[in-house]
Amino acid sequence: MSAPTTLSASDHSTVAGPGGSGPWRGTSVPMQIIILTGRSLRAVVASRALVLLGLLQPLIMLILFSQVFASLAGTSSFPAGVSYIDYLMPAVLVMGSLSVALQSGVGLLDDMRNGVVARFRTLPIASASVLVARSLADVVRHALQLAIMLVLAATLFGFSPGGGFTGVLLAWLMCIAVGWSLSWMFMAIGVWISNVEVMQGVTSMVMFPLMFASSAYVPLSSLPAWLRAVATVNPLTYSVDASRNLALGNPVGVGGLAALGAAGLIGLTGAIVATRGFRRSA
Amino acid sequence: MSDSAQRKEAAVSLFVEAEGITKTFGKVRALDDVSLQVPRGTVCGLLGHNGAGKTTLVNVLTTLVTPTSGHASVAGLDVQRDAVTLRSRIGLTGQFASVDEQLSGFRNLILIARLLGASTKEAKERADELLTAFGLREAAARPAKTYSGGMRRRLDLAASLVGHPDVIFLDEPTTGLDPAARIAMWEIVEQLVRDGSTVLLTTQMLDEADRLADKIVVLAQGKVIAAGTSASLKAQVGKRTVTLTLADKPDAERAADAVRRAGMDPRVSGVDELAGLALTVPVEKSTDLVRVVRALDDVAVEPVELALVDPRLDDVYLALSGGPADSPTDTERH
C-alpha cells in the first residue's frame, strides 16, 4: 500500500490512498487500554475546572457536617477520645468514591452520546478495552481528588486521626478500590439505562438514603432501631467502617475483608454486565 | 489475516457484496432480503427515506450490527467472521460526527491512528497530512467542540480515512450541512473516487445520488425496490414531456384535441385560475416538440408557456418508493 504520501493543501489526491493493504492492522489489547486511558486522562486535564468542582460537594459536606454534628463527639454513643472531624473524614472519602463512581457511568454515557464510542466501534479494538480504560482513568482522577480532600481536611479542619499517615494511606487505598468497583456498577447501570438524565435521577435518589442510612455521619447505636436495621445491611456501612477503622488505627478485622470482598463482587458483576450491555448497544 | 483470506481478497473485484440480508429488531423488519454489489472503485448510492433501512444496512456492512440472516463481505472479508480484521480496512462517517469533542482535531486523528497500530511519529504525520488536506490546519489545536458543522464533518471524514481504508462508508454525509459545506463535501467525495476508493454512501437527496453515484440502489421499508444507474432509473419511470400552459379551458381543449390528432397522448391537469391550464405531452425525442408546436399552430392556439421537461430523479423516487405519487403534474385525465 502507499505509505503516507506527500500532498498539498489544494489536493486531496493522496488522502484516501486506494485499496491495497494499509500499514496498520490494529494493536494489542494492553496497548489499546493504555492509549484509551491516556485519552480519557487528557480529557480530565482539559476539564480541570470540572474536577475541582467535583471537590466542592464533598468539601461543603465536610464543612457543614463538621459544624452541625460536632457536638455529637461529646455524646455517650460516640467513641471516646475521637474528634468528630476524624470520625467524619473517612466517611467523606467513601462518599467521594461513590460520586466519582457515578461520574464514571455518566462519563461513559457522554462518550456514547458524543459519538466517540461510535468511532471506537468501527476500529479494530476490543469493546472491553474502552470500558477498562474509562475505569482506569477514573481511578487516577479519583485518587487525586481524594488526596486533595485529605490534604485540605488535614490543613484546614485539623484532621489527624489515630492511625497516622499509614492509617490514612490505607483508608485512601481502600476507598480507591471501592470506588473502582462501584464505577463498574455505575457503568453497567449507565450502559443499560443509556440516558444521562435518567441515570443521574436514579442514582441521586439511591445515593441519598444510602448515605444517611449508614454509619457515615453518626454511630449506628444512635440511630432509631429500624434505621439501624437498614444501616446494618447497607453495604456502604462496611466500607465506611473499614475506612474509619483504618484511619483511626482501630483493628479492622473481618469487616475490612467483607468490604473489599463486597466491592470485588460488585465490581466483577458490574464489569460483566457493563461489557455485555456495551457490546449490545450498537 | 489468513493466507486464504488474502488470496481471496486478491481475486475480489466486487468490493461490497451483500446477499439476502435480513435484519429484524423485535417485530420490525429493518432489512428484508437485501442484496447489493459494489464493484471496486465505484460509488454506490443508497437512496431512501428515513427509516428505509439505509443506516441498518451500513451498520451490517461495517460490522456494527449482526444480520438476522444473509451474508455480506467487504473487501473480500466476511462481515461476521472477519469483523475485527475488516474494521482496519474500512472507514465509516456516520450521520453524527464520531469524534471526541473534548480533544483537538489533531489529537482525535492521532488517537485513531494509534489505535490502528501506528507509532506516535507515524500517527502525527498522518494527522498532519489529513488536517492539511481537509483544510483544518488552522483549527488543528482547537477542541472539536468549537468546530462548525462543516468542519466537524470534515474532521469526521478525515478520521475515517486515517487507516487508508479500502472501502469508505458515508452515511448521509451532507445531512444538516449548509449548501457551501455540502458542495465542499461532494467535491471531497469525488476526489476520493478519482483516487480509486470504493464508496458506499446513503442519502435522502436525489441530487446528491445523481451527482455522486455510479449506481443507485433505492431502499424502501427495508427492501430494494430499484437499482441501476441514474439514467436507467429515470428511463424506468418517466419519459420526457412537453409541458404547455394555456390561457383558458377552451384553449386547453382545442390544444388537447390537436395534439391528439397529431398522434400523441396529452394530459390536461386542472391548475389554479391564475396559472391557467397545463397540458403535458409525453414525447419520445426532442424533435417531437416541433410536432406539438405545429399541432397548436393548426388550431391557432398560442400557449402562455412551453417547455421540454426531463424526468427528474424525484419522480423516479416517488414513483418507486410509493411516496406521494400524485404530484400535481400528472393527475387525472380530462
Task: Give residue A13's pLDDT.
Answer: 39
> Which cell numbers in the block locate residue B181?
459545506
Establish if B154 touches chain A: CB-CB under 8 angstroms: no
**A26: which chain B residues are within 8 Å (Cβ-Cβ)?**
84, 87-88, 115-117
Q: Express each pLDDT in B284-301 by its tens digit.
A: 777 788 888 888 888 888
* Minimal CA separation from B222 to chain A, in Å: 19
Please report where in the chains the cell 457543614 appears, as a residue: A64
Mean pLDDT of B68-74: 94
What is the distance between the alpha carbons of residues B163 and A27, in angstroms, rounded to a whole number?
13
Hey, are the CB atoms on A14 and B159 less than 8 Å from each other?
Answer: no
d(CA B102, CA A83): 43
Which of B5-19, B159-173, B267-281 ranks highest by mean pLDDT?
Answer: B159-173
Residue B125: which of A2, A4, A17 has the nearest Cβ? A4
- Identify which of A5, A32, A43 has the shortest CB distance to residue B115: A32
Please give the pLDDT value at position B22. Answer: 95
Q: Say what the pLDDT of residue B201 is.
A: 94
pLDDT digits (tens, 9 = 90+) for B80-137: 999 988 998 999 998 777 888 888 999 999 999 999 999 999 999 999 999 998 889 9
Q: Which residues of A touch B (CB under 8 A)?
A: 1-2, 4-5, 7-9, 11-27, 32, 35-36, 39, 42-43, 46-47, 111, 114-116, 118-125, 282
Parallel/antiparallel/unpaired status of strands B277-283 and B240-246 = antiparallel
| Cβ under 8 Å to A: B residues 240-299 | none
Q: In this predicted structure, what is the pLDDT of residue A269?
A: 93
| B117 touching A (Cβ < 8 Å) | yes
- Residue B25 touches chain A, beta carbons under 8 Å: no
- Cβ-count burial B204-233 (b if 16+ within 10 Å, e if not): bbbebbbbbbebbbbbbbbebbbbeebeeb
According to the per-residue pLDDT averaged within each range, which of A61-65, B182-186, B314-318 is highest?
A: B182-186
Residue with cell 448521509: B172
Low-confidence ranges of chain A (pLDDT < 50): 1-13, 18-21
CA B90/CA B162 separation, integer angstroms: 10
pLDDT at position B71, please? 94
pLDDT recorded at residue B304: 82
Chain A nearest-CA distance from B185, in A, is 12
Contacts of A1 in chain B (CB under 8 A): 164
- CB atoms A24 and B134 under 8 Å: no
What's the CA gap between A242 and A248, in Å, rounded?
A: 10
Question: Alpha carbon B97 to chain centroid distance?
Answer: 19
Interface predicted TM-score (ipTM) = 0.79
What pLDDT shows up at residue B334?
A: 37
CA distances from B211 to A144, B208, B224, B230, B317 (A): 55, 5, 20, 9, 15
Which residues in chain A have their CB less than 8 angstroms from residue B132's CB?
Answer: 7-9
Contact between A22 and B126 using a beta-carbon 8 Å cutoff: no
Residue of B96, B101, B191 lying closest to A12 (CB–CB): B191
How far apart are the C-alpha atoms of B113 and B140, rounded to whole Å? 16
CB contact under 8 A, A123 and B90: no
d(CA B231, CA B222): 23
Nearest CB partner across the interface for B97, out of A5, A14, A115: A115
Chain B residue closest in CA terms to A47: B102
Q: What chain A residue is nearest to B63 in terms of C-alpha separation?
A: A122
Q: Tell me the shortest Cα–Cα distance from B84 to chain A, in angstroms.
A: 5
B92 neighbourhood in chain A, CB within 8 Å: 122
Does the pLDDT at position B8 exceed 60? no
Would you call B191 an interface residue with chain A, using a CB distance cutoff of 8 Å?
A: yes
Q: What is the mean pLDDT of residues B196-205?
A: 90
Q: Which band of pLDDT confidence, cut at 50, 70 and 90, is reported for residue B2?
A: low
Closest chain A residue to B144 measured between Cα atoms? A114
First to last CA, chain A: 31
Report strand pairing: B28-39 vs B77-78. unpaired
Q: Cell numbers at residue A2, please?
A: 502507499
Decide if B197 and A46 are in contact by the 8 Å CB cutoff: no
- Residue B3: pLDDT band (50, 70, 90) is low
Distance CA B178, CA A216 (A): 56
Question: What are the DSSP calls for B7-18, one per residue?
Answer: HHHHH--EEEEE
Mutate to test the interface with A, among B102, B161, B185, B189 (most CBs of A within 10 A): B102
Its pTM surpasses 0.90? no
- Dihedrals φ, ψ of A158, to 5°? 70, 30
Q: Do B92 and A2 touch (CB under 8 A)?
A: no
The whole-angstrom separation of Cα A71 and Cα B314 is 79
C-alpha cell at A56: 466542592
Extract the C-alpha cell encoding B41: 472503485
Q: pLDDT confidence of B329, banded at 50, 70, 90?
A: very low
**pLDDT recorded at residue B158:** 93
Check whether B320 has a pLDDT greater than 80: no
Q: Give chain B's mean pLDDT.
A: 83
C-alpha distance from A10 to closest chain B C-alpha (Å): 7
Task: Give the residue on A whose Cα is nearest the Cα of B138.
Answer: A9
Supply the pLDDT for residue B269.
Answer: 67
Across the interface, whether the CB atoms of A116 and B41 are under 8 A apart is answered: no
B2-6, B170-174, B184-188: range with lowest mean pLDDT: B2-6
- pLDDT tens per residue across span B240-249: 788 888 888 7
pLDDT at B248: 80
Q: Answer whether residue B35 shows pLDDT above 90.
A: yes
Cβ–Cβ of A18/B41 closer than 8 Å?
yes
Interface test with B, best of A41, A119, A141, A280 (most B CBs within 10 A): A119
